[in-house]
Amino acid sequence: MFEILKNKEVGPDIFYLVLKCDELSEQPKPGQFFNVKISRKLSTDPLLRRPFSVFDFDEDQNILELVYRKVGRGTEILSKYKAGEKLDVIGPLGNPFSTEKRSGLIHLVGGGMGIVPLHYLARTLEKGEKKVFLGAENSDELEFFTKRFKKMNVEIHRAAMTEKMEIKGSVLVLWMNYLDQEKPLFVYTCGPEKMLSAVEKECLKSSIQGQLSIERRMGCGIGVCLSCSCETTEGNKRSCVDGPVFTLGEVVLNA
Amino acid sequence: MFEILKNKEVGPDIFYLVLKCDELSEQPKPGQFFNVKISRKLSTDPLLRRPFSVFDFDEDQNILELVYRKVGRGTEILSKYKAGEKLDVIGPLGNPFSTEKRSGLIHLVGGGMGIVPLHYLARTLEKGEKKVFLGAENSDELEFFTKRFKKMNVEIHRAAMTEKMEIKGSVLVLWMNYLDQEKPLFVYTCGPEKMLSAVEKECLKSSIQGQLSIERRMGCGIGVCLSCSCETTEGNKRSCVDGPVFTLGEVVLNA
Amino acid sequence: MPEKNASEKFDLSIDLAGLKLKNPLITASGTCGNGKELDNYFDINKLGAFTLKGITVSPRKGNKSPRIAETPSGIINSIGLENPGIDQFIKKTIPEIAEYRLPFFCNISGYSEAEFLELAEKLCGRKEIAGVEVNLSCPNIEGGGLAFGTDPKTVYSITKKVRKIYDKLLIVKLTPNITDITEIAEAAESGGADCVSMINTISAMKIDIDKQKPLLGSLTGGLSGPAIRPAAVKMVYDTFKKINIPIIGIGGIRNGKDVIEFMLAGASAAGIGTINMIEADAALRIIGEIKDYLKKHNIKRLSSLIGKVHI
Amino acid sequence: MPEKNASEKFDLSIDLAGLKLKNPLITASGTCGNGKELDNYFDINKLGAFTLKGITVSPRKGNKSPRIAETPSGIINSIGLENPGIDQFIKKTIPEIAEYRLPFFCNISGYSEAEFLELAEKLCGRKEIAGVEVNLSCPNIEGGGLAFGTDPKTVYSITKKVRKIYDKLLIVKLTPNITDITEIAEAAESGGADCVSMINTISAMKIDIDKQKPLLGSLTGGLSGPAIRPAAVKMVYDTFKKINIPIIGIGGIRNGKDVIEFMLAGASAAGIGTINMIEADAALRIIGEIKDYLKKHNIKRLSSLIGKVHI
Ligand SMILES: Cc1cc2nc3c(=O)[nH]c(=O)nc-3n(C[C@H](O)[C@H](O)[C@H](O)COP(=O)(O)OP(=O)(O)OC[C@H]3O[C@@H](n4cnc5c(N)ncnc54)[C@H](O)[C@@H]3O)c2cc1C
Ligand SMILES: Cc1cc2nc3c(=O)[nH]c(=O)nc-3n(C[C@H](O)[C@H](O)[C@H](O)COP(=O)(O)OP(=O)(O)OC[C@H]3O[C@@H](n4cnc5c(N)ncnc54)[C@H](O)[C@@H]3O)c2cc1C
Ligand SMILES: Cc1cc2nc3c(=O)[nH]c(=O)nc-3n(C[C@H](O)[C@H](O)[C@H](O)COP(=O)(O)O)c2cc1C
Ligand SMILES: Cc1cc2nc3c(=O)[nH]c(=O)nc-3n(C[C@H](O)[C@H](O)[C@H](O)COP(=O)(O)O)c2cc1C
Ligand code: FES
Ligand code: FES
């Protein structure tokens, strides 16, 4: 059981959840996720856990940060929890981003809540030249993320669908503008599958290596139920334990 | 939604729950109960509400006091709620004790959590001679109740099953000792059905009038489902709306 | 700007085999009393229709208590059709409901074909009653073996005979404790039912592990509440493909989204049962939630959603 | 004081048609992977037995995603028996499980009688496998109409033929989507099954009301989890009266009390499914809770509870 230190709205229906987690078996890596039980102890509804990516982690104090959007029943109930209450959380789970040192430009392309794991990733890739491309519906949704990305050594580019930031439109278009001028060494991406698919296509076309993180509906999060199977070049894989991070080109995406 | 002001253990597995309830449609009367939803908003488990008798009510400040024993899943979850949280509660429900003025001795006989409604009843019957007989497993279970009854004009007699208080044994035996010496004008009783049945028998034998409050497993608490039916001299009645308070001799008890 | 105002108006009305309901919400039998209990909490005239408590020929005391047990997101009941019998019902209940302005359905249960016919006959011509719901499915009754509603031939026969006698809305209520519920629905349709209502409760039991005895006085009972909704939706979905009469979807509805789910699956109306036991005025909230959905999706007529998932 | 210590020891062992299990907990097929996944969280040798994921003759990719939906206190799955096929299973999975010291059961699904026989034949004589569970009940497979397990004759025939080929523990797994599950249990017993396991999932569906489409890729699926427990307990209770072979009770078990409930109803062992997806090491907690119950009630042998509610 992890104690809630903070659970507050930081954007339109976007919540920032900070947990004190002293009994972690291992330090989370970027791209991994935690699986949160939403119901109270002894209640069986909602039954399934909800997966959330690591937004940040402080290894000195064992403080885990998550960011989630209120989209349905589970996240709505979660948003009502107060500081001081405890949550039943398991993790870290899943296959992380590769964070080996690379000497060259790195792009991080995130859409919507897909931005979350890229934050911890960018923090971990501390050294080295990085550009992060953030997209959302409007600038309010990006405010909290921007504030946090500004604290680190990374160049930030932003697009919103309903108002002009660097451009008005999708982050994909914004990113492709840059791709016309420069060829990154490696691309990390997370967001809606349509976006992932487009990013992947561009990268493969230009022989740019990279990784994506996908969000398939999960049952267990620990590899036992096959709810999260995705088709890959090597047959079906489980996105919870074999993913959520995959190499570009590996997974058949629902575009 | 009523705000929880206090929810703390005041005896072995016995909790004292204080609620601020400003939107009450009417002031509760002794013997009435409130029906408490245990699950969080949007959760459907536990599904049914749990009925609890009024322990006390402050009409100036709209403060409702309940006392409950942790016996199962619902009360266990309830015991975890903290001050500041809100509870979905409906009431007051049910048919109350008659509190007409009576000039004569009144006995109140309560066993276990059956003591709860007798407290508010005794408070309401402020004037007039009253003796209250309290029974429980041990003195710890009676401590909180005793403290509260001491604050009012009432003579207190106590029995415990596992240790000697006024006697060691059941409150029934204790009460019958007094009954040998005096004939009350009216008897109110609440507790296990076996006890109610014995009290009723004694009263009917000695032509003493009185009322009892029974606890039947309820579905709705508002008279729509017939889960709580009990057989009476006038056919089936619903213990939630026609009761929980009945006249001695009216209900067929499970002795 | 009259258009804007107009676009805020939603048509929740439903045509139930010729009977017009102002909205799809119908109380499910046995969970809502006979009107006045709920009317303490809200104006029941706001409901689409009201199904009364189950009625039998002779008075019944019902089952031994306890009659209710809680299970995960559900309840098991074994009320056992406690009711004063049809004659008392006609004398006392019918005059009581006369004061309300909404259609009332009478839920009838028999222990033989003859009893169903007797009940239908006695209700025939009662202007206060808009329809009869034939309960072929109550699993609580100790009437030797399975419920009437598990055999298509019996269902056809009872429906046909009741149809001959009863000229207003005839609803047949289906039991889910069956391999293929669509066969029974087809039998009811062939027999002349105007619509089917589904589902009744799922056979279930709970054991008191401390006493090492069944918890309910009658040993077993019927499961209802949100727990059963996914099974009920599937049955409505399957049945919609097979019959041409309207379906009243019932089972675990607790909010407007659930009503929409049943309607998309094929229901024309929605029965609300267990939720009323927890929240007496749930119907008011649900109507609001249905409107919110229509608004969000810019849908004018709720009835346009019926069976839409099949398209 | 040796007596005191002795009274703290409980015998949790169970005799499953001659196979001795150290405790009644058996993983339910498809919800627990094939051993190593759960072994990351606890020593799976502590389980009574382990049922492996469903296997078919040919490899299967499973159903389209989404394959899982949440419902009140339950889930609907439509995995669709994704598996590598029996040959790959024998080559890769069997060597992997060889390292554990507990009985493994192989859950087999066929699309024809012949396939069941082929599967049984290939597993026959494999010392790593203690038994075969014949899944006649999976509702997910689009195999034309109802599941094998809804017809007593088919069940009898398949059981009898598999029995001829397969000499170790033969479990027949029953579907709850049926009017009378006891008929099927009797057919399995007559066919020579050593025990039955029950229940598989209940047919169900969920609709995505915003997309106005079924939520699951395969449209419908099977309901499991606490929601179905009351129905499962009732079926075990009914079946216990009719057959003389042991029952593995499955359906919504989440704690020790639920195991006790199933055993009182008539189960000799308990399958744990959905709970493992939420709490990987639930089995350890459950074993502790069973001991707490035995202690509280001063019961020495857990097996003394089997069917006790019938007495
Ligand atoms: C690996 C992974 C990491 C994620 N990280 C984040 C994150 O950091 N921040 C964030 O806001 N969201 C994240 N999500 C999505 C998040 O899990 C869902 O938004 C959330 O589970 C929705 O729950 P709900 O009850 O509010 O919605 P409901 O729609 O009511 O949920 C019903 C069921 O569907 C599942 N579900 C619904 N939407 C999704 C979805 N998009 N992906 C997967 N399952 C879904 C739920 O888990 C639940 O089982 C992540 C998902 C995955 C798979
Ligand atoms: C009119 C009335 C007034 C009551 N007042 C008090 C009170 O002031 N203080 C107090 O401690 N208890 C009181 N009770 C009993 C209290 O309602 C139950 O102890 C409580 O509902 C148990 O819930 P649970 O989930 O912990 O137990 P569980 O056993 O897990 O409950 C399961 C179900 O059984 C019902 N149930 C279990 N025990 C009882 C019981 N004894 N009576 C009725 N229903 C039961 C529950 O409501 C629930 O629906 C009262 C009961 C009634 C009917
Ligand atoms: C307490 C109770 C009493 C019921 N009585 C009847 C009845 O008399 N006749 C009938 O046809 N169905 C009866 N039912 C079944 C309901 O009408 C309904 O079909 C079922 O509860 C499923 O809907 P729900 O999940 O919304 O409750 C009863 C259900 C409950 C819970
Ligand atoms: C994800 C999932 C996969 C399943 N796969 C199988 C299977 O392959 N074979 C089978 O016989 N049952 C399968 N089942 C059914 C379970 O074994 C079990 O019978 C059912 O889930 C009820 O138990 P529970 O409520 O404890 O989960 C599966 C269930 C789930 C949830
Ligand atoms: S979610 Fe269960 S295997 Fe991935
Ligand atoms: S509890 Fe429903 S009528 Fe009394």
pLDDT at D8: 61
Residues B212, B138 within the same domain: yes
- Give B37 Cα–ligand 1 centroid separation in angstroms: 27
CB atoms within 10 A of CB A16: 17
| pLDDT higher than threshold 80 for residue C306 | yes
Closest-approaching ligand to the CA atom of D135 = 4
Residues A242, A118 within the same domain: yes
- CATH code assigned at B203: 3.40.50.80
CA distance C173 to C160: 14
The percentage of residues in chain C with a pLDDT greater than 90, rounded to a whole number, is 90
The verdict on residue A173 lying in a domain is yes
pLDDT at B79: 96
Residues A80, A114 within the same domain: no
Residues in chain B: 255
Residues in chain C: 311
pLDDT tens for residues B104-120? 999 999 999 999 999 99
DSSP character at residue C301: B
- Averaged pLDDT of chain B: 95
Residues A158, A71 within the same domain: no
| pLDDT higher than threshold 60 for residue D7 | no
Phi, psi of D148 (to 5 degrees): -45, -45
Nearest to D58 by CA among D33, D85, D22, D76: D85
Residues B31, B109 within the same domain: no
pLDDT at A22: 85
| pLDDT higher than threshold 90 for residue A195 | yes
Average pLDDT over residues D151-161: 93
pLDDT at A103: 86
| pLDDT higher than threshold 50 for residue A217 | yes
Residues B120, B213 within the same domain: yes
pLDDT at B254: 82
pLDDT at D143: 44
pLDDT band at D6 (very low <50, low <70, confident <90, very high): very low
| pLDDT higher than threshold 60 for residue D58 | yes
CA distance B13 to C160: 59
Nearest to D75 by CA among D209, D264, D223: D223
pLDDT band at D145 (very low <50, low <70, confident <90, very high): low
CA distance C227 to C230: 7
CA nearest ligand 1 atom 28, residue: A72
End-to-end CA distance of chain D: 35
CB atoms within 10 A of CB D20: 10
Domain encompassing residue A184: 105-247
pLDDT band at D138 (very low <50, low <70, confident <90, very high): low
Residues A66, A124 within the same domain: no
Task: Say how many CB pairs under 8 Å bridge A and D.
Answer: 90
pLDDT at D141: 47
The verdict on residue A98 lying in a domain is no
Average pLDDT over residues C277-298: 97
pLDDT at D144: 53
Residue D249: in which H helix or E strand, if any? Answer: strand D247-250
Chain B contact for D73 (CB, 8 A cutoff)? yes
Residues B48, B83 within the same domain: yes
Last residue of a domain, one of B39, B62, B93: B93
DSSP, collapsed to helix, strand or coil, labels residue D209 as coil
CA distance D261 to D264: 5
pLDDT band at A40 (very low <50, low <70, confident <90, very high): confident
pLDDT at D76: 98
Can you give the C-alpha Rg of chain C in angstroms? 19
| pLDDT higher than threshold 50 for residue D2 | no
DSSP string, chain B: -EEEEEEEEEETTEEEEEEE-TT-SS---TT-EEEE--SPTT--SS-S-EEEE--EEETTTTEEEEEEE--SHHHHHHHT--TT-EE-EEEEESBPPP----SS-EEEEEEGGGHHHHHHHHHHT-SS-EEEEEEESSHHHHHHHHHHHTTSS-EEEEEESSS-SSEES-HHHHHHHHHHH---SEEEEES-HHHHHHHHHHHHHTT-EEEEE-----SSSSSSS-TTEEEETTEEEETTTT-BEEETTSB----
The verdict on residue B100 lying in a domain is no
Do residues C181 and C199 touch, judged by C-beta distance below 8 A? Answer: yes
The verdict on residue B98 lying in a domain is no
DSSP, collapsed to helix, strand or coil, labels residue D157 as helix
Q: Parallel, antiparallel, or unpaired: how do β-strands C104-108 and C49-51 relate? A: parallel
CA distance D42 to C133: 54
pLDDT at C311: 86
Contact A224 D66 (CB under 8 A): no
pLDDT at C8: 61
CB atoms within 10 A of CB A209: 15
Structure token digits, residue B147 = 């403290």
Q: Provide the whole-model pTM.
A: 0.96
The verdict on residue A253 lying in a domain is no
Residues sharing a CB contact under 8 Å with residue B133, sequence separation 6 or more, in sequence order: B107, B108, B109, B110, B157, B158, B159, B171, B174, B175, B178
Residues A56, A170 within the same domain: no
The percentage of residues in chain D with a pLDDT greater than 70, rounded to a whole number, is 95
Sequence letter at residue D185: A
CA nearest ligand 3 atom 5, residue: C30
CA distance D164 to D191: 10
Buried/exposed code over D189-208 (b: 16+ C-beta within 10 A; e: otherwise): bebbbbbbbbbbbbbbbbbe
Show the CA angle centred on residue C60, arms to residues C59 and C64, nearest 5°.
165
Last residue of a domain, one of A29, A61, A93: A93
Overall domain count for chain B:
2
| pLDDT higher than threshold 70 for residue A193 | yes
- CATH code assigned at A78: 2.40.30.10
Where do the H-state alpha helices sit in chain C?
A: 2-7, 36-39, 86-88, 94-97, 113-123, 152-165, 181-191, 229-242, 256-265, 274-278, 282-296
CB atoms within 10 A of CB D9: 10
Question: What CA–CA distances, in Å, run from C82 to B47, C109, C110, D81?
Answer: 23, 11, 13, 46
Residues sharing a CB contact under 8 Å with residue D175, sequence separation 6 or more, in sequence order: D136, D137, D138, D139, D147, D149, D150, D181, D184, D199, D200
Cα diameter, chain C: 69
Task: Name residues contacting ligand 4 (CB within 6 A).
Answer: A 219, 225; D 28-31, 53-54, 77, 79, 81, 107, 135, 138, 173, 200-201, 224-225, 228, 250-253, 272-274
Can you give the C-alpha Rg of chain B in angstroms? 18
Instruction: Confirm whether C138 is a catalytic residue.
Output: yes
Do residues B48 and B42 touch, judged by C-beta distance below 8 A? Answer: no
- Total H helices, total E strands in chain C: 11, 16
pLDDT band at D140 (very low <50, low <70, confident <90, very high): very low
pLDDT tens for residues A76-134? 999 999 999 999 999 999 999 999 888 899 999 999 999 999 999 999 997 888 999 99
Residues A223, A109 within the same domain: yes
CA distance D92 to A189: 34
CB atoms within 10 A of CB A139: 16
Buried/exposed code over A32-43 (b: 16+ C-beta within 10 A; e: otherwise): bbbbbbbbbebb
- Averaged pLDDT of chain D: 93
Phi, psi of A176 (to 5 degrees): -65, -30
pLDDT at A102: 86
By CB atoms closer than 10 A (0-12, 13-18, 19+), residue B57 is buried
pLDDT tens for residues C117-152? 999 999 999 999 999 999 987 543 444 556 888 999
CA distance A63 to A71: 25
Contact C231 D203 (CB under 8 A): yes
A229 C-beta closer than 6 A to ligand 5? no
pLDDT tens for residues B139-188? 999 999 999 999 998 999 999 999 999 999 999 999 999 998 999 999 99
CA nearest ligand 3 atom 11, residue: C135
Residues B114, B237 within the same domain: yes
Average pLDDT over residues A19-45: 94
DSSP, collapsed to helix, strand or coil, labels residue C73 as coil
Last residue of a domain, one of B71, B93, B115: B93
CA distance D110 to D141: 10
Closest-approaching ligand to the CA atom of B35 = 2
Q: Which of B41, B73, B82 sits opposite A42 (nearest CB)?
A: B73
| pLDDT higher than threshold 70 for residue A218 | yes
DSSP character at residue C92: I
pLDDT at D137: 73
CA nearest ligand 6 atom 3, residue: B223
CA distance D258 to D265: 11
Nearest to D66 by CA among D208, D188, D163: D208
Q: Parallel, antiparallel, or unpaired: how do β-strands D49-51 and A106-111 relate? A: unpaired
CB atoms within 10 A of CB B26: 8
Where do the H-state alpha helices sit in C143-198?
A: 152-165, 181-191
Do residues D49 and D61 touch, judged by C-beta distance below 8 A? Answer: no
CA distance A161 to A170: 6
Closest-approaching ligand to the CA atom of B228 = 6
Do residues D138 and D81 touch, judged by C-beta distance below 8 A? Answer: yes
- Averaged pLDDT of chain A: 95
Residues A79, A150 within the same domain: no
pLDDT at B126: 77
Residues sharing a CB contact under 8 Å with residue A245, sequence separation 6 or more, in sequence order: A31, A94, A95, A96, A97, A98, A211, A212, A213
The verdict on residue A128 lying in a domain is yes
DSSP, collapsed to helix, strand or coil, labels residue D48 as coil
The percentage of residues in chain D with a pLDDT greater than 90, rounded to a whole number, is 89
Mutation to probe ligand 1, out of A19, A33, A52 (largest number of atoms < 8 A from CB): A52
Nearest to C177 by CA among C221, C209, C216: C221
Contact B44 D73 (CB under 8 A): yes
The verdict on residue A254 lying in a domain is no
Q: Locate tokens 């074999």: which residue? A: A242
The verdict on residue B255 lying in a domain is no
Question: What CA–CA distances, in Å, run from C224 to A131, C221, D294?
Answer: 55, 10, 32
